[in-house]
Structure formats: C-alpha cells, structure tokens
Structure 1
Amino acid sequence: MNGSNHAVVRLVNGSNHAEGRVEVLYGGSWGTVCDTWWDLKDAKMVCRMLGFDGALDAPRSARFGQGSGDVLRVDCSGTDCSKVETSTPCGHHMDAGAVCYLGAHPNPLQVRLANGSIDAEGRVEVLYDGSWGTICHYWWDLRDARVVCRMLGFGGALDAPRSARFGQGSGRILLDRVNCDGTEDNLAECDYSGNARYSCSHTSDAGVICYSGGLFSRDFNLVVHLPD
C-alpha cells in the first residue's frame, strides 16, 4: 500500500468533463481502478478531489471503456484516494468510473416514515423507480436521522432506531452504510452504498424519531430529588 497523501486522479472517456473512467497517477504512470468494492462513497471522493460537489453514480464493468496500464485497488476512505494497491486480480473489463455533479444534487431522494405510533417516527422508506424500499441500519446513527427528519420538515431527530424497531419493511433494501455529517438537506448528498451487498435483511431496517419546533416534541416529566 502507498501512504502518499498526494494522489492525483482524472476522468477519462466520458461524454463530458464530469464523468468518465477513473484513473490514478501512481509511480509516474496512469492506471485504472478495480471495481471490486467500488461504490458511490468512493466516486464521491474522486469527484470532490476534482472540484465537484458530489457523485451521481459509481459505474462499474468498464462503462467508460477499458483503460490501459495497471489496474489498481484504491481506498478512497478518509480525505483522498491515496491508498493504492498494485497487485490485484482485476482486468480492465472491471475498470471503475464516476459521474459527478456541481451545485445542488440534481436527483434528490424522497423519503417517508412508516409504522410509527405518531407521524414523527417510523421506519425510513425511500422511493426509487416508483417503489418504496428501506435502509439497512449498518452505520445508521443520529446524524443520518437528522437529515431524514429535516427532509420531512421536522426540527431534528431524537433517536435513530435500528434492528427494525418499527417493524420489517418489504421490497428492496435500497441504501446501505449511510454516512451523513448531519448538515445535508437530502440523503442523496450523504455517502452511502447504493445497495445492501453485505447480507442485510429487513430485520436490519433503520428508523427515526423526529421532533418539531423546540428541542423535544414529546412531553416528559422531570423529577428532582431534593436533599432532606
């Protein structure tokens, strides 16, 4: 693995400058990226390194044509794509790509809450291609819940329930490893894997509990014990 913090990337063979096959400058030569484990999180990092605001897609299987040179395995976690492994079993038919965007996300996600006892809580469901699906709870936390609650017009989130607390959904598990920083206006702006490739089932459906207005939407009793 290479520990350099100065990785250089480029997009090649796209129909415009915001898309293409991802290539990395390594050892003085340009190589391509193996698409094993390649997902939207990796594509977003590449896009941000190139000055874009995010990624719309993380194409696999050489959608932008097969490159030349070494096929590299690249770790785009952290702040860049500097960790490079040169010995991989991948061929150029597995070259990875990225589709980037500038400005607000052009394809925002639509969400709803299902099976809660009030409208401010429930299982999080996402609309995709005309059907509703769920979110896998891997990496799901309060920051992700805040974004969902904000999308639905609430003031914030009280909790990010896991393990299908609001019952098991149906249909596809559409998002996995959601990783928001909590300031996003839409889940589409967060890092996530576009499908649950890690044996996620509906027993792992994620939920939220939101609040409106001030800090809490639910009444509670504060009991103070004074010394005798």
Structure 2
Amino acid sequence: FNSLGVDTLRLANGPSRCAGRVEVLHNQQWGTVCDDSWDLEDAGVVCRQLGCGTALSAPGGGHFGQGSDPVWLDDVNCAGTEAALSSCRARPWGENNCNHREDAGVVCSGNLHLPPYLRLANGPSRCAGRVEVLHNQQWGTVCDDSWDLEDAGVVCRQLGCGTALSAPGGGHFGQGSDPVWLDDVNCAGTEAALSSCRARPWGENNCNHREDAGVVCSDSGISAVAQLRLANGPSRCAGRVEVLHKQQWGTVCDDSWGLQDAGVVCRQLGCGTALSAPGGGHFGQGSDPIWLDDVNCTGTEVALSSCRARPWGENNCNHGEDAGVVCSGISEVAQLRLVNSPSRCAGRVEVLHNQQWGTVCDDSWDITDAGVVCRQLGCGTASSASGEARFGQGSDRIWLDDVNCAGTEAALSDCRARPWGDNNCNHGEDAGVVCSELLPLCEDTAVSPALPSFI
C-alpha cells in the first residue's frame, strides 16, 4: 500500500465511495476480502484509510454483491489502530478457504449523505422502526403491500444497519400521519437505496396507515428469538405464544390462528415444524396485554412479527382465546449439536445420522448455512461460519459435504448437499459456527474439554 492507501483499496458496488464491497490491489489485480472474522475493528481501518470517517457496519456474506476476482485476504484481524488494511494480521495474500458469497463490505460514516432520505421511526433504535422516506421535502411512509425481507434488506443496508431480521407490516411500529409515498415495492435485494427499487410512482397507492411497513435490522440490538417465547408448556418448544412489545410480554389471540402461523413460530424459535396450533387458552391464560389478533402468516416469514395482523394491541379477544403451539422441537434439535465451546450456540457442527454423530465439511460452508444451524438450535442468527476445524477435529464420520442452504430451511438436513457420508474431506476441514445468542451449555451436553482461545 502507498502512503495514502487510496490507490490500492476501494469499496465497490455500493451507493458511494464510502460504502461497498472491500477490494484490495495486489500484484496489479483487484480482489476481495473474506468475511471470516471480519468485524467493526477491521472495517474501521478501511474507513480511516479511505478518509471516510468511522465504520457504521461491517456486513459480510456478499452484502454488496459477489466479486469475480481473487479472494486476496482471509482471517483479517486488525487491532483497529493500523493506518492501512495491509498492516493488519491476516493469512498470506491469496491463501483462503472462502468463496465470493463471503465477500466482506463496509459502511462508513462518510456515507451519511444517503440516510437523510430514509429513516426508521417509532422504533426502539435507529435500526428498527416504521420505514419513512423523504420526497418533495416531506416525510411519508411505505405501504406493506408485497413488502418482504428483500425490501427490508435494502433499507437496512442503506442505513448501515446490517441485514434484515424481519419486515413487519400492519402498522407494527405505529401509524404514520404523512403521505403514503411508496406502494408495491419490489426490490431485487441488490439496490443501494430503497428509491432505486421498483414500485408504483411516488404517492400512488391504495393503502392507509394501518398498512405502514417497518423493518427490524440485525444491528438494532433486537434478537428475533428474544422477542418470542412459549410459556406454560412442557418444554421451550411447546406452550402459550407470547411476544415482546414495548418491553412488555403479551399473548396472541386465536382468531384465525392455524398451522401456518404456528409454523412460523416454531421456525423462529429453532423448534422445527408445527405439530399443532391449539387455541382456547390450551396452555393456560396469560395476564398481560393481548398484543396480536387476526394473525395471517403465509408460512414463509422468518418471524411472527413479519406476518399480517391487526395493529399491536388492537383486538376483540380475552385470555380464554390465547393461542399456543406444539413444535416438533426436541426430536429435531437432537439431530444437530455444536460442540467444543463454552456455549451450546457455538462450536463444531455435528449431525446425527444412522444413530451416529458426525461432522460437516467446510467445502462451500458459509454464513447462510450457519444461519440455518443457529435458527434450528434456537440460537438466533449466525455471527460467523468457520472452517478448518476451528473448534477442533471430530473423530467420527464426516456426514455432510458441499452443503448449500438457501437460508430458509427449517433444518440443516433440508439443505442441498452431497448424499450422507459422500465427501472428499478430512477432519481438518470440519465446519463450525458462532451464533448471535451465546446461550450456556445444558448439563447433559457433551463437550470436548479443549476450548478455542478466541471465544
């Protein structure tokens, strides 16, 4: 790198020169950086080197699109005080176990000319709330018609808030009072700004503010799992459905409650699939607010808060109508475990097949695959997807190789992969994950005594 470092470092495919996919110049060829261990310390060095202020977020997973050149850097570990990315600890140039789905990106504070045209209102943080856009010098809302995670993802990225956890509609974060500026938004997911997405012309809509769209982003400090629980049941995967709103737990009314709605709850909690959706206060009556009524999930939502429903707290119910679920839960989770770490939500991935535990090969293993594991175990979202036996080498069968999850699967066994036991790997390639919910180990969980030093 030269003294300024600007000529050998750039941010590509972003909304400005201060946000995008990190690319470095080496041997006269531009290449990318792998997101293994990529974090705000590393992103901060990039932002400072480019004269772009401080780092707002450090998105991985090819957030700003996939590069097509070499993956030059992997396992970058900056102290945060370096003058250039090339001064940070990392593997030797070009040595990596990554693919371009793991390309690292940054959003710097020097990018702040974009957010003033977009904001999240009436939420618990700047990264969660009702979506509002500025047009003709007036703030207005977005209608929830066709509103989904792709659209919410663009909002989160534009605001430097990470990825989208949920895309709630139905005035989830209260009703706005200004114009409904956008309707039928249809983002591809790669746009740099919400205003770049396909939609009806500004102000043309058939909506009211009861349909105002919202988002919850990964950098909001809100965990999708922490917003939902099953109470008064025989296990954490069966019970009365309770949701957290305005820092208070409340119940869900059983009006229109069915297996599709229960299925979203089970998947969100990492409890497998829904076996039944009992109503009528089957698991006892709650005593707090009835937060949701007339819930109508399509079944594909990542969180119950993304399903269509009446506005929060609006209902014609009593606690004799409290909704519940029974999930497949324990049997399904028992077929997957994370070992060799102090938390049940981090470690080497092991799966049960033919009554024998075995590992997963790191070939093509990425953050999307890790996300399915974390969700299945009720451990939130994936913080990282590691390879090369970072959590120690297993000694049993290598059951899965070339795993390729879409990210929506309820269980790792639902993802595309080679046939069970078919692999070209060794245990030096065992895959691991670190999830966002680092829950303590249960007493009966088997764990190897050797703990990795970086946890």
Scaled to the shorter chain, the TM-score interval is: 0.5 to 0.7
Letter in 1 for 2:151: F
**Contact 2:169 2:308 (8 Å CA) reproduced:** no
How many pairs align?
Answer: 165
Distance in 1 between residues matched to 2:286 and 2:170, nearest whole Å:
26
| Structure 1 pair 104–127 and aligned structure 2 pair: CA distance change class (3 A) | same
- 5 Å-filtered alignment, 1:196-211, equals 196-211=313-328
| Structure 1 pair 168–55 and aligned structure 2 pair: CA distance change class (3 A) | closer
Cα displacement string for residues 70-104 of structure 1 (whole angstroms, at most 9, x for unaligned residues): xxxxxxxxxxx9997xxxxxxxxx97773445987
How far does residue 173 in structure 1 lie from its aligned partner after superposition?
Answer: 0.6
How far does residue 191 in structure 1 lie from its aligned partner after superposition?
Answer: 1.2
Cα displacement string for residues 109-168 of structure 1 (whole angstroms, at most 9, x for unaligned residues): 711111113333110111222221100111110011111111222111100001111111
Counterpart in the other structure of 2:369:
none
| Structure 1 pair 160–102 and aligned structure 2 pair: CA distance change class (3 A) | closer
Counterpart in the other structure of 1:63:
177
- 5 Å-filtered alignment, 1:144-163, equals 144-163=261-280
Larger Rg: 2
Counterpart in the other structure of 2:312:
195
Distance in 2 between residues matched to 1:105 and 1:163, nearest whole Å:
37
RMSD over aligned Cα atoms:
4.3
Counterpart in the other structure of 2:285:
168
Distance in 2 between residues matched to 1:209 and 1:55, nearest whole Å:
24
**Contact 2:292 2:315 (8 Å CA) reproduced:** no
- 5 Å-filtered alignment, 1:66-145, equals 98-101=212-215, 108=224, 110-145=227-262
Distance in 1 between residues matched to 2:259 and 2:240, nearest whole Å:
14
**Contact 2:265 2:304 (8 Å CA) reproduced:** yes
Q: Secondary structure at the match of 1:148?
A: helix
Relative to the length of structure 2, the TM-score reads 0.30
**Contact 2:292 2:314 (8 Å CA) reproduced:** no
**Contact 1:20 1:99 (8 Å CA) reproduced:** no
**Contact 1:19 1:97 (8 Å CA) reproduced:** no
**Contact 2:170 2:308 (8 Å CA) reproduced:** no
**Contact 1:122 1:209 (8 Å CA) reproduced:** yes
Distance in 2 between residues matched to 1:104 and 1:191, nearest whole Å:
21
Q: What 5-or-longer segments of structure 2 have no aligned partner?
A: 1-115, 119-130, 135-141, 153-166, 182-199, 335-455
Distance in 1 between residues matched to 2:211 and 2:261, nearest whole Å:
26
Whichever structure has more strand as a proportion of its residues is: 1
Q: Secondary structure at the match of 1:209?
A: strand
**Contact 1:137 1:206 (8 Å CA) reproduced:** yes
Counterpart in the other structure of 2:117:
16
How far does residue 207 in structure 1 lie from its aligned partner after superposition?
Answer: 0.1
1:45 paired with 2:145, answer: yes
Relative to the length of structure 1, the TM-score reads 0.55
**Contact 1:135 1:174 (8 Å CA) reproduced:** yes
Whichever structure has more helix as a proportion of its residues is: 2
Distance in 2 between residues matched to 1:144 and 1:118, nearest whole Å:
19
| Structure 1 pair 133–97 and aligned structure 2 pair: CA distance change class (3 A) | closer
How far does residue 170 in structure 1 lie from its aligned partner after superposition?
Answer: 0.9
| Structure 1 pair 153–193 and aligned structure 2 pair: CA distance change class (3 A) | same
Q: Secondary structure at the match of 1:174?
A: strand
